[in-house]
Amino acid sequence: MTEDGTGRLDDQAFAQWLAGAAGRALTALRAEQGFADPAALKDAGDKVSHDLMSTALARWRPADAVLSEEQADSRRAWAGDPAAGARPARLEADRVWIIDPLDGTREFSESGRDDWAVHVALWQRSAGPDGALVAGAVGMPARTAPDGTPLVLGTAEPAVAAVAGPLRIAVSRSRPPAFVGELVEGIGARAVPMGSAGVKVCAVVTGEVDAYVHAGGQYEWDSAAPVAVALGAGMHTSRIDGSPLRYNRDDPRLPDLLVCRPEHAESLLAAIDRHL
């Protein structure tokens, strides 16, 4: 990467560059390794992308902390877990990069699937009372942008007009929560199964669906970058009880999520409350 004339790319440009670079490495790995051993491809993809992103962050943002799905202690790094060890440095840092080097490993390991992603987000403590996401990018390397390059969405995506008809709700293709099926049926919506969380959130941004509802287990790195992209596009983002999404917490588990067009937020939250 080449820095700009000021000596430093701005954080949003850096996030998009990093998502694209990791995506290119994953695409090359997929082509080189093939799909004969899905488990090995998943493991290799996680490692290749994590190593590339960690190296780039250490070089270009050395003063910032990192929370990554692939860090050995990330899942046990919450207060009260005796295996967690020392308090993570990120909890005292002003700037924390929250990354998922490969979101949708199942889809990544299946030939012909394009619904997997790379997540890069920056959380800044000084940006709000609870901190805030200040940059984010979701790379979808198996999809193509209008200019022919691998698709990377940032925080300045254009608004997309609403589509008439039943609400389209993105749901997990492999582990849809039971209540989401009940919700879809109860409000007369249409379920649209998809792979990675990032792809599902970005489908709201691009107008492929109207909402994404999830409950049943996620971590901060599953939603931080997609939520930053959705916020930039003017979408509603919250927990399924309507409370704010908060990042860089002691406990990185963030188990539920609603992302939708803003005009549907009130009715969806009310419907979710009825079906929980």
Residue finishing a domain among 128, 153, 178: 153
More confident residue, 165 or 87: 165
Residue 75 maps to a domain: yes
Instruction: Verify that 184 and 142 share a domain, yes or no.
Output: no
Instruction: Verify that 176 and 138 share a domain, yes or no.
Output: no
Q: Tens digits of per-residue pLDDT, 48-72?
A: 999 999 999 999 999 999 999 887 6
The domain in which residue 61 lies consists of: 11-153
Looking at residue 76, its pLDDT comes to 57
Residues 259, 262: Cα–Cα separation, whole Å: 9
Residue 21 maps to a domain: yes
CATH of the domain at 30: 3.30.540.10
Looking at residue 260, its pLDDT comes to 98
Task: Report helix, strand or coil for 13.
Answer: helix
More confident residue, 78 or 274: 274
Q: Tens digits of per-residue pLDDT, 74-132?
A: 655 554 455 556 788 899 999 999 999 999 999 999 999 999 999 999 999 999 999 99
* High-pLDDT (> 90) share of the chain, %: 80
Q: Is the dihedral of CA 178, 180, 185, 186 positive or negative?
A: positive
**Beta pairing, strands 236-238 & 117-124:** unpaired
Residue 6 maps to a domain: no
Instruction: Verify that 226 and 260 share a domain, yes or no.
Output: yes
Instruction: Verify that 181 and 93 share a domain, yes or no.
Output: no
Domain count, the chain: 2
